[in-house]
Structure 1
Amino acid sequence: MWLPLLGLVLGLAIGYVSPFSVPIEYAKYLSVGILAALDSVLGGIRSAQEDHFDSTVFLTGFFSNMLLAALLAYVGDRIGVDLYLAAVVAFGVRIFQNLGSIRRHLIRK
C-alpha cells in the first residue's frame, strides 16, 4: 500500500519544486491526464487495502486512462465540443468513491 502513496507524494513534491510550466493550449489535456492518473493511484491504494492489487492492472490502467482522457479532450477540441468535461466528471466521481473507500478502511483499522 505504501508504494502508490509514496509515488503520489514524490510526484507532488517534484511538481511543486520544478520550474516547469505548461502552455495554456495544453492545459485541458494535462488536467484530464492528471485526474486520470490520480484516479489510478487512488484505485491502486484502494485495491491494495482490499488485498486485490495487481501491478500489471495498475500500470496498464494508469497509462491507458491518461491517454484516453487526453485523447477525449483532443477530439472534443477538434469537433468544438467540451468532451473533456465528461472525463472530469467520470474521474471526479471515481476519485471521491475511492477516497471514501480508503477512508472507511482506515477508520475500521
Structure 2
Amino acid sequence: MIYVAAGLVLGVIAGLNLNLVYSPEYAVYISLTVLAMLNSIFNMLAENLNGGLTTVKSIVFLAGDLAFALFLGYIGEQLGLPIYLAAIFAFGNNIYKNLKIMLNYLLEKNNKKK
C-alpha cells in the first residue's frame, strides 16, 4: 500500500511540475484514456475484494476498456458525432457500481467485527 501511495504522490508532483503541452485535437482521446484507466482500477479493486483478481484479468480489464473507449472516440471523430459520450456514461456508471460494491464490502466487514 505504501508503494501505491508513494507512486500516486510522485505522479501528482511530476504532473504539476512538468510542462507538457498537447494538441487540443487529442483532448477527447486523453480524457477517454484517463477515464478508462480509472474504470479499470476500480474494476480491479472490486475484484480484489472478492478474491478473484488475477494478472490476466487485470490486463484484460485495462486493454478492453482502453480499446472500447478509443474505438468509440475514433468512430465519433470520423462521423462527427459525440459517440464517445457513450463510453463516458458507461465508465461512470461502472465506477459508481464498483464503489458501491466496495463500500458494501467494507460495511459488512465492519458489522461482523461488532
- Answer whether contact 2:39 2:94 (CA < 8 A) is retained: yes
Q: Which has the higher mean CA deviation after the structures are superposed, 16-25 or 30-39?
A: 16-25
Which residue of structure 2 lines up, in the alignment, with residue 88 of structure 1? Answer: 88
- Counterpart residue type for residue 25 of structure 2: E
Matches of 1:11 and 1:33 in 2, distance apart?
20
Alignment of 1:24-39 (within 5 A): 24-39=24-39
How far is 1:24 from its partner? 1.0
Matches of 2:91 and 2:11 in 1, distance apart?
19
- Answer whether contact 1:33 1:67 (CA < 8 A) is retained: no
- Residues 29-75 of structure 1, C-alpha deviations (whole Å, 9 max, x = no match): 11111111111110100100110111111112202311221121111
- Answer whether contact 2:28 2:73 (CA < 8 A) is retained: yes
- Structure 1 residue aligned with 2:4, among 3, 6, 13? 6
C-alpha distance 17-98 of structure 1, shift in aligned 2 (>3 A): farther
Q: Give the unaligned 5+ runs of structure 1.
A: none
Which residue of structure 2 lines up, in the alignment, with residue 98 of structure 1? Answer: 98
Matches of 1:70 and 1:33 in 2, distance apart?
7
TM-score (norm 2): 0.80
SS at match of 1:58: helix
Alignment RMSD: 2.4
Q: Give the unaligned 5+ runs of structure 2.
A: 110-114
Aligned length: 107
Greater C-alpha Rg = 2
SS at match of 1:46: helix
